[in-house]
């Protein structure tokens, strides 16, 4: 497969490339030199990725004559914290990294968010190159410039927009991931198809087995198709003040579940549960076409995401956790709803999310949390 290069053009000005090619990890140095020239590179990775991928990336940089240091941190979503941000920043300061340095974020979404936030704030901002190593990070968190950390109050409540200088995607590394990690990443692909592209939805449905297995050609094609959509959306709305809201489908409930589970639930698993609940909620409110939640449940099941994580929590505690979401305003929770597969609904003011009164949410949520087998509103599991 030849290299595919997509470009994210930011409405406010500027752009950055997304390179997609199996084996691209061996070409890190040339991309860093051309896209993020720096005196020194801080390669930030969690402990697992540092062990698996760190040596190869460091060899690529050093063989090319680039000064680089590998700075690992403990693996786990719970380490996407202010404490780790502080620790990484302090370690860079002690090592003498200056304003002419750059960060290389090597890993999954936790690393991309955390290392990106370090880059956004270190010396008031230095460049970052994103090298995602999980399917979810390749499809989602590495593109768009969102960085940040979690707090006890909720997910990603402290952060900044800081777009990367480049994104390097090597689909070959997906073969090293556990199956449940690949499945979790497919949640983002299903979300993108659900909000934007019924044709992509059918394409995923026809190749779900190959995608779950991490087949390189199918994975590379999926990444290119999904990232092309995201690049268009974030380019048009880099600071999430308009159409970029649609990317939050499944995330209001999903983030609430993550917080309630102490971030032990994989982000993709939480978003899959969030999409099921928000689709049922949209149907119960008369916003989403009947049968849509069934279509979502069917495709998620084909992608290995049939766990009923949402049924472990009650509607009141999910509602209360939703109220802490960063999109909440004036005691109202904002949710993105589908009109149907491939199309997002808009509210009477033309917004791509709906404001819901917290006090009115418990009842509809109780219905939306019930799976179809227990009588929830999940009819007609057809294909779009």
The active-site residue, picked from 155, 163, 182, 188, is 188
Asked if 146 is an active-site residue, the reply is yes
CB atoms within 10 A of CB 323: 15
- For residues 75, 81, 85 and 87, what is the CA-based torsion angle, rounded to 10 degrees? -70
Catalytic residue among 124, 152, 241, 330: 124
Has 156 been annotated as catalytic? no
Examine the residue annotation and report whether 162 is marked as an active-site residue of this protein.
no
245 is catalytic: no
On whether the CB atoms of residues 122 and 86 are closer than 8 A, the answer is no
Question: Is 327 annotated as catalytic?
Answer: no
Catalytic residue among 248, 276, 278, 310: 248
Known catalytic membership, residue 276: no
What letters, b where the CB count within 10 A reaches 16 and e where it falls short, cover 63-80?
Answer: eeebebbbbbbebebebb
Whether residue 267 lies in the annotated active site: yes
199 Cβ partners below 8 Å, 6+ apart? 342
Tokens of 360: 């009115």
124 is catalytic: yes
- The 3-class SS string of 23-54 reads CHHHHHHHHHHHHCCCCEEEEEEEHHHHHHCH
- Beta-sheet strands, E only, within the chain: 4-9, 15-20, 40-46, 68-73, 101-107, 128-132, 146-151, 154-161, 166-169, 332-335, 338-340, 343-344, 354-357
Query: Exactly one of 155, 251, 352, 370 is catalytic; which is it?
Result: 251
Q: Which of 155, 225, 229, 230 is catalytic?
A: 230
> What is the spatial distance between Cα 305 and Cα 279, in angstroms, rounded to a whole number?
15
User: In terms of Cα–Cα distance, which of 283, 277, 343 is closest to 311?
Assistant: 277
Of the residues 19, 80, 146, 280, which is catalytic? 146
Catalytic residue chosen out of the listed positions 19, 244, 313, 334: 244
Nearest Cα residue to 174 out of 148, 202, 137: 137
Q: Compute and round to an integer the Cα radius of gyration of the chain.
A: 20
Candidate list 80, 191, 255, 276, residue with the active-site label:
255
- Active-site residue identified among 162, 163, 182, 267: 267
Catalytic residues: 124, 146, 188, 230, 240, 244, 248, 251, 255, 267
């Amino acid at each position: 497969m030849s290299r595919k290069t997509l470009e994210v053009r930011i409405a406010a000005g500027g752009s950055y490339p997304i390179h997609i090619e199996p084996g691209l990890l061996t070409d890190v140095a040339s991309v860093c030199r051309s896209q993020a020239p720096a005196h020194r590179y801080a390669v930030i990775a969690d402990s697992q990725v540092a062990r698996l991928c760190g040596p190869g990336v460091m060899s690529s940089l050093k063989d090319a004559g680039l000064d680089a240091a590998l700075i690992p941190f403990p693996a786990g979503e719970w380490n996407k914290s202010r404490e780790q941000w502080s620790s990484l920043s302090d370690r860079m300061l002690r090592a003498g990294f200056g304003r002419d340095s750059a960060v290389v974020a090597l890993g999954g979404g936790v690393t991309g968010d955390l290392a990106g936030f370090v880059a956004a704030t270190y010396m008031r901002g230095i460049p970052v190159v994103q090298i995602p190593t999980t399917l979810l990070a390749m499809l989602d968190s590495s593109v768009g410039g969102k960085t940040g950390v979690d707090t006890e109050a909720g997910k990603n409540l402290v952060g900044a927009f800081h777009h990367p200088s480049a994104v390097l995607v090597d689909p070959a590394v997906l073969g090293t991931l556990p199956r449940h990690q690949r499945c979790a990443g497919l949640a983002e692909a299903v979300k993108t198809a659900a909000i934007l592209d019924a044709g992509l939805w059918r394409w995923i449905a026809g190749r779900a087995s190959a995608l779950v297995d991490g087949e390189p050609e199918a994975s590379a094609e999926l990444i290119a198709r999904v990232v092309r959509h995201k690049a268009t959306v974030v380019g048009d709305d880099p600071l999430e003040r308009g159409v970029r809201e649609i990317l939050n489908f499944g995330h209001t409930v999903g983030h609430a579940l993550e917080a309630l589970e102490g971030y032990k639930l994989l982000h993709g698993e939480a978003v899959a549960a969030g999409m099921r609940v928000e689709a049922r909620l949209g149907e119960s409110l008369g916003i989403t076409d009947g049968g849509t939640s069934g279509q979502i449940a069917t495709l998620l099941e084909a992608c290995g995401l049939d766990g009923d994580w949402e049924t472990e929590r009650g509607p009141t505690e999910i509602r209360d956790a939703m109220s802490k979401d960063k999109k909440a305003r004036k005691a109202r929770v904002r949710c993105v709803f589908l009109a149907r597969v491939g199309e997002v609904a808009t509210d009477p003011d033309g917004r791509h999310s709906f404001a819901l009164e917290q006090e009115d949410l418990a009842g509809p949520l109780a219905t939306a949390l019930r799976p179809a087998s227990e009588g929830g509103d999940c009819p007609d599991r057809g294909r779009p």
